[in-house]
């Protein structure tokens, strides 16, 4: 195990944040790095929005976007621990509308059935971005039509996905599923747990982890603490107006997106990360078995369909090659979000690292601030 040099880490991160703020790459952010359960760096920088002087603080909420996915994966794995589901269960076991899945294509702008799938989609396929649900050319053809009643509830959306079909055979290739696959997983949680998805996560994950602010449906008071969305135009910071009552995109809070719908604070997500880093335990509460954490954090997609130094685990990416360019250890795992959120766990060095911001000018897995965060933390290891 390599030990972090706290002074070096503070110097690297504060210098980086000062530059990003001065260059209007963001209006504010919250960062934490823990090693062996103890914080070695914790900082809040800037303001809650480009048009306010309210400082970022411990109570600031951020839209987590796709950093919701690891939380949904943990929800699924709690059901696995309780023998209520199996990772190889076909989706149709829980959702009859998926009993006759079909391969689809887009011709002249129309979605057409090609033939029945030869491989039935499973929970494992959904967790590893290999299901093919709304994949390939279906993505662009389908998403503009997911509006109104279709988008109002989780149940409606999941039923509609089944009607749209699959872009490729499950496990024949990998393609990132931004919303569809994890919405289906969220719906499976509801069926297997016999309660609403958000309620189950609160009971099984949020409360045991002490995640007091984690929510799919912010209260009025929580909305008042939400960081504004930032964009960079002509070299300057500008605020972005988002649809009222939506945590992510145009999806209303009546539809708790399994892949993108959470909002929360730095402290909350750090607790979630620490739970994973400690093998499923936090604050004396066991959230996941050690086996479930192990299953989550190892690659499940072969290099034959996902070459390179990163493979998909269960709802996370896993570093599998020494040639990963941003120096994370082999075995490190984590995720990113479209609005610039980023986290990872490094089991070999006992590190949990979380970076939260809300921007539309630099987000997702290629987010420059996320890459720099990885570089700086790893550069501080003695």
Q: What is the 3-state secondary structure (H, E, C) of 322-370?
A: CCCCCCCCCCCEEEECCCCCEEEEEHHHCEEEEEECCECCCCCCCCHHH
Confidence grade of residue 70 (pLDDT, cut at 50, 70, 90): very high
CB 2 within 8 A of CB 381: yes
Predicted confidence (pLDDT) per residue in 189-226, tens digit? 999 999 999 999 999 999 999 999 999 999 999 999 99
Mean per-residue pLDDT, 285-313: 97
pLDDT for the residue 110: 85
Tell me the C-alpha distance between 297 and 33, whole Å.
Answer: 19
Strands in the chain per DSSP E: 28-35, 38-46, 62-63, 102-107, 110-116, 229-233, 236-240, 246-248, 251-252, 263-264, 281-282, 285-286, 310-312, 317-319, 333-336, 342-346, 351-356
Distances, alpha carbon 332 to alpha carbons 169, 174, 312, in Å: 29, 20, 12
Q: Is 101 exposed, middle or buried (0-12, 13-18, 19+ CB in 10 A)?
A: buried
Q: Is 194 left (phi over 0), alpha (psi -120 to 50) or beta?
A: left
Q: Is 188 exposed, middle or buried (0-12, 13-18, 19+ CB in 10 A)?
A: buried
Distances, alpha carbon 268 to alpha carbons 116, 139, 215, 257, 328, in Å: 43, 32, 11, 19, 23
Tell me the C-alpha distance between 57 and 268, whole Å.
Answer: 13
Tokens (6 digits) for 89: 């269960």
Residue 382 has pLDDT above 90, yes or no: no
pLDDT for the residue 365: 87
- Entry field: residues in the chain: 382
Predicted confidence (pLDDT) per residue in 97-129, tens digit? 999 999 999 988 889 889 999 999 999 999 999
Confidence grade of residue 140 (pLDDT, cut at 50, 70, 90): confident
Residues 6+ apart with CB under 8 A from 298: 313, 318
Residue with tokens 């360019």: 325
Mean per-residue pLDDT, 11-18: 98
Sheet holding 310-312, edge to edge: 38-46, 28-35, 351-356, 342-346, 333-336, 317-319, 310-312
Return residue ranges of the chain for CATH 3.40.710.10: 6-70+196-379
Tokens (6 digits) for 344: 């990872």
Tell me the C-alpha distance between 210 and 197, whole Å.
Answer: 18
CB 338 within 8 A of CB 321: no
Mean per-residue pLDDT, 335-359: 98
pLDDT for the residue 206: 98
For residue 284, give the 3-state DSSP assignment: coil
In percent, the amount of the chain with pLDDT more than 70 equals 100
Residue 296 has pLDDT above 90, yes or no: yes
Torsion angle of the four alpha carbons 115, 121, 126, 129, in this order, in degrees rounded to the nearest 10: -50
Tell me the C-alpha distance between 142 and 145, whole Å.
Answer: 6
Residues 6+ apart with CB under 8 A from 260: 64, 65, 66, 68, 69, 178, 179, 182, 247, 248, 249, 251, 337, 338
Contacts for 50-53: CB closer than 8 Å, 24+ residues apart? 50/228, 50/230, 50/237, 50/238, 50/239, 51/228, 51/239, 52/228
pLDDT for the residue 145: 85
Predicted confidence (pLDDT) per residue in 40-58, tens digit? 999 999 999 999 999 999 9
pLDDT for the residue 269: 98
pLDDT for the residue 143: 83
- For domain 6-70+196-379, the question of CATH label 3.40.640.10 is answered with no
Tell me the C-alpha distance between 44 and 31, whole Å.
Answer: 7
């Amino acid at each position: 195990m390599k030990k972090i040099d706290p002074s070096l880490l503070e110097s690297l991160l504060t210098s980086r944040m000062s530059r990003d703020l001065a260059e209007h790459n963001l209006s504010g952010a919250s960062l934490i790095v823990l090693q062996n359960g103890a914080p070695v760096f914790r900082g809040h920088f800037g303001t809650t929005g480009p048009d306010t002087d309210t400082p970022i603080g411990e109570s600031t909420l951020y839209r987590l976007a796709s950093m919701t996915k690891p939380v949904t994966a943990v929800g699924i794995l709690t059901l696995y621990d309780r023998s209520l589901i199996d990772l190889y269960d076909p989706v149709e076991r829980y959702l009859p509308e998926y009993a006759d899945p079909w391969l689809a294509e887009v011709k002249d702008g129309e979605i057409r059935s090609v033939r029945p799938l030869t491989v039935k989609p499973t929970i494992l396929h959904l967790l590893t971005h290999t299901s093919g649900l709304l994949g390939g050319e279906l993505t662009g053809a389908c998403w503009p039509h997911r509006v109104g009643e279709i988008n109002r509830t989780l149940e409606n959306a999941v039923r509609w996905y089944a009607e749209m079909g699959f872009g490729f055979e499950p496990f024949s290739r990998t393609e990132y599923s931004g919303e569809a696959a994890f919405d289906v997983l969220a719906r499976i949680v509801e069926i297997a747990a016999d309660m609403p998805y958000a309620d189950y996560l609160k009971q099984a994950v949020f409360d045991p982890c002490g995640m007091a602010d984690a929510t799919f449906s912010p209260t009025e008071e929580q909305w008042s603490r939400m960081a504004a969305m930032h964009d960079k135009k002509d070299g300057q910071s500008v605020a972005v107006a988002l649809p009222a009552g939506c945590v992510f995109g145009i999806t209303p809070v009546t539809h708790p997106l399994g892949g993108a719908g959470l909002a929360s604070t730095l402290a909350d997500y750090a607790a979630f990360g620490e739970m994973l880093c400690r093998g499923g335990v936090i604050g004396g509460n066991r959230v996941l078995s050690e086996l479930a954490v192990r299953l989550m954090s190892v690659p499940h997609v072969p290099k034959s369909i996902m070459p390179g130094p990163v493979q998909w685990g269960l709802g996370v990416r896993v570093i599998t090659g020494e040639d990963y360019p941003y120096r994370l250890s082999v075995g490190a795992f984590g995720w990113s979000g479209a609005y610039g959120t980023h986290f990872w766990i490094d089991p070999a060095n006992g590190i949990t690292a979380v970076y939260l911001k809300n921007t539309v000018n630099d987000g997702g897995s290629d987010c420059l601030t996320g890459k720099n965060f990885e570089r700086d933390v790893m550069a501080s290891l003695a």
